[in-house]
């Protein structure tokens, strides 16, 4: 799509927002001169868009009363952004329980796109994929997600019916500080109004909620995303793993993201050097950790559990055995 066409659509978008717009204002917003604005208005009139011209000192342009835009008028870049957003939301597990809504929205968008652009986007959607697959999870209800968002913005307490990870049901009152999408799931982070303790809740485990009267203030500098990631990393699991690794935090984070491990400076390593990082991991299984340690390719110490040392030694033996295998094409039968 040419730059001039994109600006004509941008002009229509500005006029659609309502009110009378002066020519100097439109020229500044579109980054063109006033003569070009009048030419763009002419293009809209040719397309059948009823733009009224108001003369006089305070004159300008506005859309005729009662005019409704066609269903969609998007540039190539805007259409791509919308469709990729829908695709990413569906594949990342961030859509709500009404998953059909995403498919319906994408179908409506495709129907009103120009044929050439539609074919190009269809080709992209048919071949696009995500290398990182999120863990499967149950999506939250649309009403729960939207009502919590409104309550968080308005700083209103909520009462929720919640089922914890052990299957226990409870009724709770929460001061909703923020909503966070992480690793294919939606989370609510907020405070208990009685104790002031900050807690994290999975939205798909909230079966009902009610907005309560009153208001609250979010602590200055509170970071919902960082709070949720830290909370997940500290959740009790079957194994509490403690390592010391001699590597920089950036290198370790490439293999152990914040949702998996917590990092802190270690007092010292076995060599007395201070360039070590304390790594804490909580996991249901240990079998995936030895390959990650091997991929780090850095000096390390396993503090606990002892079972992890056995798994690392077993991996080292397998690697050593496989490294000693020779390939003789004469004996391969080829």
pLDDT band of residue 247 (cuts 50, 70, 90) is: very high
Distance in angstroms (rounded) separating the CA atoms of residues 150 and 245: 44
The answer to whether 203 and 158 are in contact (CB under 8 A) is no
Q: For 104-136, b where at least 16 C-beta lie within 10 A, e where not — what string? A: eebeebbeebeeebbeebeeeeeeeeeeeeeee
Average pLDDT of the chain to the nearest whole number: 81
pLDDT of residue 143: 78
The pair of structure tokens assigned to 175 is 């001061």
> Is residue 157 very low, low, confident or very high in pLDDT (cuts 50, 70, 90)?
very high
Q: What per-residue confidence (pLDDT) applies to 136?
A: 46
Least Cα distance to 241 among 181, 281, 188 occurs for 281
pLDDT score at 11: 87
Report the C-alpha dihedral over residues 243, 249, 250, 251, rounded to 10 degrees: -40
| Angle between the N-to-C axes of helices 3-16 and 34-46, in degrees from 0 to 180, rounded to the nearest 10 | 80
Beta strands in the chain (DSSP E): 51-54, 60-63, 158-163, 169-182, 185-191, 198-202, 206-211, 239-245, 261-265, 277-283, 300-304
Bridge pairing between strands 206-211 and 158-163: antiparallel
Cα–Cα distance measured from residue 280 to residue 261, given in angstroms and rounded to the nearest whole number = 6
Spatial strand order of the sheet with 261-265 comes to: 261-265, 277-283, 239-245, 300-304
**Residue 279: CA atoms inside 13 Å, Cβ hemisphere, count?**
33
- Indicate whether 233 pLDDT > 80: no
Judge if the upstream peptide bond of residue 205 is cis by omega within 30 degrees of 0. no
Predicted local distance difference test score (pLDDT) of residue 98: 53
Q: What gap in Å lies between CA 192 and CA 187, rounded to an integer?
A: 15
The whole-model pTM stands at: 0.48
What's the confidence (pLDDT) of residue 63?
87
Q: How high is the pLDDT of residue 261?
A: 87
Q: What is the pLDDT of residue 300?
A: 94
Instruction: For residues 38-54, give the mean pLDDT.
Output: 89
């Amino acid at each position: 799509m040419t730059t001039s066409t994109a600006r004509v659509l941008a002009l229509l978008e500005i006029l659609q927002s309502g009110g009378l717009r002066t020519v100097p204002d439109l020229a500044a917003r579109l980054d063109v001169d006033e003569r070009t604005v009048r030419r763009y208005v002419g293009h809209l009139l040719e397309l059948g868009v009823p733009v009224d011209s108001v003369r006089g000192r305070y004159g300008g342009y506005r859309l005729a009363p009662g005019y409704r835009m066609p269903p969609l008028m998007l540039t190539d870049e805007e259409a791509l952004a919308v469709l990729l957003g829908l695709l990413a939301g569906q594949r990342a597990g961030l859509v709500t329980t009404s998953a059909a809504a995403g498919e319906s929205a994408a179908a409506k968008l495709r129907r009103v796109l120009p044929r050439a652009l539609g074919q190009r986007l269809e080709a992209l959607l048919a071949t696009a994929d995500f290398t990182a697959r999120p863990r499967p999870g149950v999506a939250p209800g649309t009403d729960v997600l939207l009502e919590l968002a409104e309550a968080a913005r308005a700083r209103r307490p909520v009462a929720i019916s919640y089922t914890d990870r052990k299957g226990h049901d409870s009724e709770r009152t929460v001061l909703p500080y923020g909503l966070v999408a992480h690793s294919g799931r939606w989370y609510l982070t907020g405070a208990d109004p009685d104790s002031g303790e900050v807690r994290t809740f999975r939205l798909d485990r909230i079966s009902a909620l009610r907005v309560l009267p009153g208001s609250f203030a979010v602590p200055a500098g509170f970071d919902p995303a960082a709070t949720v990631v830290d909370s997940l990393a500290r959740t009790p699991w079957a194994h509490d793993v403690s390592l010391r690794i001699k590597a920089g935090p950036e290198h370790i984070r490439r293999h152990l993201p914040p949702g998996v491990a917590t990092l802190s400076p270690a007092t010292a390593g076995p060599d007395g050097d201070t360039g070590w990082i304390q790594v804490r991991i909580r996991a249901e299984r240990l079998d995936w950790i030895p390959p990650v340690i091997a991929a780090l390719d850095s000096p390390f110490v396993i503090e606990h559990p002892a079972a992890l040392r056995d798994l690392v030694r077993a991996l080292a033996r397998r690697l050593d055995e496989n490294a000693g295998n020779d390939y003789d094409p004469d004996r391969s039968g080829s």
